Amino acid sequence: MAKIHPTAIVEDGAKLGADVRIGPYSVVGPQVELADGVELLSHAVVAGITSVGSGTKIFPFASVGHAPQDLKFKGEPSRLVIGKNNVIREGVTMNPGTEGGGMLTKVGDNCLFMTGAHVAHDCQMGNNIVMANNATLAGHIEVGDFAFVGGLAAIHQFCRIGPHAMIGGMSGVEQDVIPYGMVIGNRAHLTGLNLVGLKRRGFEREDIGKLREAYDAVFARGETMSKRLDDVAAKFAGIPIVQELVDFIRNASKRGVCQPQDVAAA
């Protein structure tokens, strides 16, 4: 049975799972679904056509599901879907999708959104992602599993952030970030691989070594990027961690791919 504080407002039509807790002065809209064990601590707002997965906790002054900050939005019935066991801290904002982006913003499971983080319309996020304080995603961004976005970092619309990538604090990211890569800078550049993250997540030493070799080859000078990718794909055939890197770059968005500073300047 849901536990609702007397000062909270839960509008008719909202669907509440078992053991949902809604704290003081929180507001839940009429098209919201809160799964089992969701908790709104206090002063939290969940609006729009929004579903929140089981065990997710939403802290004070978070605004989840209100209309996207997109001048093209005309009130279309777009959605925000949030997975299980997420932590959404104070002042976080998350917006639903738009007609121009597939009508859906989606957040996976087990993510941490620290104070002031923003997830804009039509973003597609995987699992186990961390967005640090005031990190910002513009619209239409894809973020892979286990990615980390540092505090005050900002990601340009339509970029892709690969799985296990790390975005340094205060970075401005204008291009795709490769899986397992690290970027930093006002206009971010690639600084290497997220080796600490790879080790913490249990990747085999041999696979990490092959990924490092492949990285050096992909971003070497000489030849074209296409030729270097073909060579790496052939040399490391059957090594999934390398093939993931190759496939990601081959399928780069229209933003292009972040590269090391010396390569980008060459």
Residue 83 in tokens: 């997975």
230 classed as catalytic:
no
**Where do the domains of the chain lie?**
3-140, 198-265
122 classed as catalytic:
yes
Q: What percent of the chain has pLDDT over 70?
A: 98
What is the per-residue pLDDT across 171-218, written as a single tens digit (0 to 9) for each?
Answer: 999 999 999 999 999 999 999 999 999 999 999 999 999 999 999 999
Residue 266's pLDDT band (cuts 50, 70, 90): very low
- pTM score, two decimals? 0.97
What average pLDDT does the chain have?
97
Beta carbons within 10 angstroms of residue 105's beta carbon: 31
What is the structure's pLDDT at 17? 98
- Geometric angle at alpha carbon 122, from 191 and 45, rounded to 5°: 105
Residue 54 in tokens: 């089981």
Give me the catalytic one of 48, 65, 91, 139.
Answer: 139
| pLDDT over 70 at 154, yes or no | yes
Query: Amino acid identity, residue 130?
Result: V
How much is the average pLDDT of 65-84? 98
Residue 249's pLDDT band (cuts 50, 70, 90): very high
| Contact status, residue 243 vs residue 229, Cβ threshold 8 Å | no
The DSSP-derived string for 55-124 is: T-EE-TT-EESPPPS-TT------EEEE-SS-EE-TT-EE----GGGTSEEEE-SS-EE-TT-EE-TT-E
Burial class (CB in 10 A: 0-12, 13-18, 19+), 246: buried
Residue 264's pLDDT band (cuts 50, 70, 90): low
| Contact status, residue 95 vs residue 69, Cβ threshold 8 Å | yes
| pLDDT over 80 at 265, yes or no | no
Residue 263's pLDDT band (cuts 50, 70, 90): low
State the architecture of 198-265 in CATH terms: Up-down Bundle (1.20)
What is the per-residue pLDDT across 4-47, written as a single tens digit (0 to 9) for each?
Answer: 999 999 999 999 999 999 999 999 999 999 999 999 999 999 99
| Contact status, residue 95 vs residue 113, Cβ threshold 8 Å | no
139 classed as catalytic:
yes
Give me the catalytic one of 55, 101, 118, 122.
Answer: 122
DSSP state of 140: T
- In angstroms, rounded to a whole number, what is the distance separating the alpha carbons of residues 215 and 220? 8
| pLDDT over 90 at 251, yes or no | yes
What is the per-residue pLDDT across 76-125, written as a single tens digit (0 to 9) for each?
Answer: 999 999 999 999 999 999 999 999 999 999 999 999 999 999 999 999 99
Alpha-carbon radius of gyration of the chain? 20
Give me the catalytic one of 29, 53, 121, 126.
Answer: 121
Smallest CA-to-CA distance from 124 within 69, 75, 79 is with 79
> What is the assigned CATH class of domain 3-140?
mainly beta
What is the structure's pLDDT at 262? 80
